[in-house]
Amino acid sequence: MIEIDGSYLEGGGQILRTAVTLSTITKKSVRIYNIRKGRDKPGLKPQHLEGIKSAAKICNAQLIGAELNSLEISFTPGDIKGGFYEIDTKTAGAITLILQTLIPIGIFANGPLKLKIKGGTAVPFSPTILYFEDVFCFYLKKMGIEISVDIKKHGFYPRGGGEVLVVINPGVLKPIEFVDTGELRKVEIHSISSEHLRNARVAERLITGFQNIYSNAHFKYKYVQTDSPGCFIHSVAIFDNCLIGIDGLGERGKPAEKIGEETAKRLKEILKNPPCVDEYMIDQIIPYMALATYTADKQTAIRFSELTLHARTNIWVVEKFLPVKFEIESNLLKCIKK
């Protein structure tokens, strides 16, 4: 059984998600202790709990310690089976973080994995569902994996209530190298706001703020029915060979224009010397690089701007499960088979 210290480096939920995912795929049992030990509220929270419980159902695993606030679990996987699974965090737990656990598992299932997930679609400390749909799914498609996303309802903190249908089709990961961005073709922005904020024209003001900094962006906006009021702006820079995504979440007491401006400034700074993946995608793509390298016995590589603590943590976990090694040459991250 592989032993994983959940407090290592970044010490958050990502260690748990990656470890359970790779345990399922490699059929290696794992014990994870000190789960989120360094957080203000350590242990398993609703989205972590629902993610690992769902993984256990999909592969008929023996799961011990799966309780709210638990600091330790053990996971002994079985065979991965496709099919339809419903997941409800009953909170604003991030739907995209649950998907981080389940997407890789679906790639290795014996049939399509269909997920109906309820929770938050744009909540703090997690990718928005539009980032997942536009940016994450773009890179997975480049690597040969088809994912369909149907956003039924958006959900904001604190009530959540969002609902998303996702289908992952099994496939073979291609060992792609993302080393050249190509030319920047356009920047798109998409503003989402709850109906509660229509009279205040929040969706339009998010766009106004963004365009104050980056005037050439193509835009669209939408008001949606939600259980809690909220808003966010999603921006994506579209290059020949890659995408860069930056989002901004609404904050109580902060003008919508300010959120739009801050998001545009962050994107504009990245575009001065654009990498092939943004700082949010680099850690998410690491398990897929490793799995592609392992199954195809061929190097994968990606050009980045910053190797975040999340990314370093994911590399550490991945190398516990797979016979691969990550190497850094300047701003190029390579994965090779041992």
Q: Which are the catalytic amino acids?
A: 310
Cis (ω within 30 of 0) for the bond into 104? no
Angle 267-10-60 (CA atoms, 0-180°, nearest 5)?
105
Query: Residue-wise over 65-83: b if at least 16 C-beta within 10 A, else e?
Result: bbeeebbebbbbbeebebe
**Measured distance CA(166)–CA(159) in Å, rounded:** 21
Structure-token pair, residue 330: 């300047």
Q: Cβ distance 237 to 187 under 8 Å?
A: yes
Instruction: Name residue, tokens 């088979």.
Output: 337
Query: Residue-wise over 25-52: b if at least 16 C-beta within 10 A, else e?
Result: bbebebbbebbbeeeeebbbbbbbbbbb
Interstrand relation of 113-119 and 162-168 (parallel, antiparallel or unpaired): antiparallel
- 223 Cβ neighbours under 8 A, 6+ residues apart: 193, 194, 195, 197, 198, 203
Strand order in the sheet with 62-64: 2-5, 30-33, 73-76, 62-64
In a 3-state reduction of DSSP, which class is residue 190? Answer: strand
